[in-house]
Amino acid sequence: MKRLTRILSTLLCVLLLCGCQAGQNSAASLPTFSEETPGAEILVHTVEELVEAIAPDTTIVLPTGTLLLSDGSPMKSENPYCRWEYDTLVISNVDGLTIRGSGKDLSVLKTEPRNAAVLTFTNCRDLTLTGFTAGHTQRAEACEGNVVNLNGCSKVTLKDLSLFGCGAVGLNGWMVRDLTLEDTDIYDCSISGVSIYQGGGILLKNCRLFNIGAEQDALYALDVSDCMDVLLDNCRMDNNRLMQLISCYASTVQLQGCSMEENTLTDAMFHVYGQYSESGTGVGASVELTDPAFNGNSAWKWMDTDNGGQVMIGDEEMTEDGMAQKFGAFARTEGEAATGDAGSQREQITVKNVDEFLAALGPDREIVIDCPVLDLSKAKNYGMDGGDYYHWEDPFDGPQLTICNVENLTIRGKDGKTANVVSAVPRYAQVLAFDSCTNLTIRDLTAGHTKEPGYCMGGVLQFQNCGNVTVENTGLFGCGTIGVGAQSCSNVLIRNNDIYECSYGGISLYCVDGASMEGNSFRALGEEYGDGFVYSTDSGSRNILFEQNLVQPGTDLKTYDYPQYTK
């Protein structure tokens, strides 16, 4: 009788799973299994064997070496517990699954397509991943896919793992309960290390999040939204290049014995926001610190709080001054570049050619361009070795100058924007790109691509991970795609510029905190590709003003809305 009961229970589970595959993906539809069902341990050697082995109460042992989950070729599976979805292996509705490698230095899972996640789990319980490395194959293109996705999962343990970029997010969780991430390294991701939304009971223990944003700008080491009971115990966050180290929205995050070292942040160390409520009774948010260690960080400020957001040490609510007294103030000061007059405190260097210009790059300087055309392609080291504050990149068809890690720099024309021009030849390169610069001013000059056959794919001025940026009294022309592009920046002023003949649009803001666009003229935008835009912002940008009007995050102003900008 007991055996018959077990068989009937198993048949019932199969019927429930069929319903799940037909679209019932809620947590309530998860199958249940008898505690007496024996588990299996299966050693796999190929992706096909891995996919076939996925089942409840099963331990899958990965081989030593690398398994390439997907190279972009069509994949299919007859296993009811998994499917291929846009080159991503999606494992769903499994209870009691363990995937175990031989050690994170020995077993590796990779995927090739840039838009695919390495592994996605949906509606799984009692899930364990341990002892392996996961990430995307190394290629020049940035990734849009995450490394591990957890959707609607509970009782999840990730231990002794390495999750690496170019994955956009190392671990992305939605509606996750009882998640433990232990002894795990997350690094080289392009957006954030760990992002958890609408979760609870989250523990990160003895984990390291590092080099996030090393290859391209990123947003956060840890991003938590609508979560309760999030604890980081003895974790380390170091050598990251981000907008903010921790973003906490309508959540409670505790940091116990954590170290935060050598992080370069374009905004605040902690971004803590309560949930907006018109009645003023919204959910608060807090970051609570116990025995923290800070060393060698660079940021604009310690905290950015609103709608009941708090940073706490013990029972004390901290202020910016309080954090500065305990741990020291940051060297950067907010607002200097936005005044447009910080150059008076800088060493003035006049240059007459591109080699003198490159040699002059450095902190606390005002570089005055005294020549009709500064052609970057005429540099003696064009496309070769760079300097302390610049390097050459090759986006596709030729070198791009990227100026980096400079504070208090002004670049201006001697005789005004109609007399001094900075130009670039490659169609895919930005004319001038800036990365991780602060207190930066560009004014009184014109910049654009040289007139060559074909279309441009690079913009004119591009700023990444920069703070306190001023662009004023400049001419910015195509065939550059965008006049001014800012990504993961803060405190940007774009004022009194003439932006014209750009094939996409005028100003593009992505994950920008604080920008003002005023007094600019726009003309002949978007002609090569149809209607262009005057400005474009994403949902991650905030505190954006256009002609003193607040811009809703994620909105675009098209040229057809303002026909005077199309002439």
pLDDT by residue (tens digit) across 294-312? 999 988 789 988 888 999 9
Of 370, 305, 300, the residue nearest 337 (C-alpha): 300
Run of H or E including 9: helix 2-21
Percent of the chain with pLDDT over 90: 55
> What mean pLDDT comes out for the span 182-187?
97
**pLDDT reading at 4 higher than 70:** no
**pLDDT value for 156:** 98
> What mean pLDDT comes out for the span 441-465?
79
**pLDDT reading at 60 higher than 80:** yes
Cross-strand pairs, 414:
none
Quick one: pLDDT band at residue 560, thresholds 50, 70, 90? Answer: confident
pLDDT tens digits, one per residue of 374-393? 999 888 988 788 889 999 88
**pLDDT value for 217:** 63
Quick one: pLDDT band at residue 11, thresholds 50, 70, 90? Answer: very low
**pLDDT reading at 150 higher than 70:** yes
Percent of the chain with pLDDT over 70: 84
> What mean pLDDT comes out for the span 121-132?
98
**pLDDT reading at 473 higher than 80:** yes
> What mean pLDDT comes out for the span 49-55?
96
Quick one: pLDDT band at residue 277, thresholds 50, 70, 90? Answer: low
pLDDT tens digits, one per residue of 317-355? 999 999 999 999 875 544 333 334 444 467 999 999 999
**pLDDT value for 333:** 41
Structural domains present in the chain: 337-566 (2.160.20)
Residue 429, classed as helix, strand or coil, is: coil
pLDDT higher at 299 or 38: 299
**pLDDT reading at 18 higher than 50:** no
For the ranges 123-137, 223-237, 281-295, the lowest mean pLDDT is seen at 281-295
Q: What are the residues whose beta carbons fall under 8 Å from the beta carbon of 331, sequence distance 6 or more?
A: 298
Q: What is the DSSP string of 318-333?
A: P-HHHHHHHH---S--
**pLDDT value for 564:** 59
Residue 454, classed as helix, strand or coil, is: coil
> What mean pLDDT comes out for the span 41-60?
96
Quick one: pLDDT band at residue 508, thresholds 50, 70, 90? Answer: very high
* Average pLDDT of the chain to the nearest whole number: 84
The first and second tokens of residue 510, run together, are 């992505």
Q: What are the residues whose beta carbons fall under 8 Å from the beta carbon of 67, sequence distance 6 or more?
A: 46, 47, 50, 108, 109, 110
* Angle formed at CA 511 by CA 508 and CA 512, multiple of 5 degrees: 75
Residues 196, 226: Cα–Cα separation, whole Å: 8
E strands, 137-210, are: 148-151, 154-164, 169-174, 177-182, 185-187, 192-197, 200-205, 208-210
**pLDDT reading at 255 higher than 50:** yes
The first and second tokens of residue 433, run together, are 């790109």
**pLDDT value for 167:** 78
The first and second tokens of residue 428, run together, are 């895919």
- Is the pTM higher than 0.85? The answer reads no
**pLDDT value for 563:** 61
Out of 54-68, 409-423, 540-554, the most confident range is 54-68
**pLDDT reading at 7 higher than 50:** no
Given strand 407-413, what is the order of strands in its sheet?
Answer: 347-351, 365-369, 407-413, 438-443, 467-472, 490-495, 513-518, 542-546, 549-551
**pLDDT value for 162:** 97
Whether residue 437 has a cis bond before it, omega within 30° of 0: no
Residues 527, 322: Cα–Cα separation, whole Å: 53
> What mean pLDDT comes out for the span 113-118?
90
> What mean pLDDT comes out for the span 285-295?
96
Strands 58-61 and 549-551: unpaired
**pLDDT reading at 189 higher than 60:** yes
Whether residue 20 has a cis bond before it, omega within 30° of 0: no
Cross-strand pairs, 448:
423, 477
Q: What is the DSSP string of 199-237?
A: -EEEEEES-EEE-TTSSS---EEEEEES-EEEEEES-EE
**pLDDT value for 2:** 34
**pLDDT reading at 59 higher than 90:** yes
**pLDDT reading at 21 higher than 50:** no
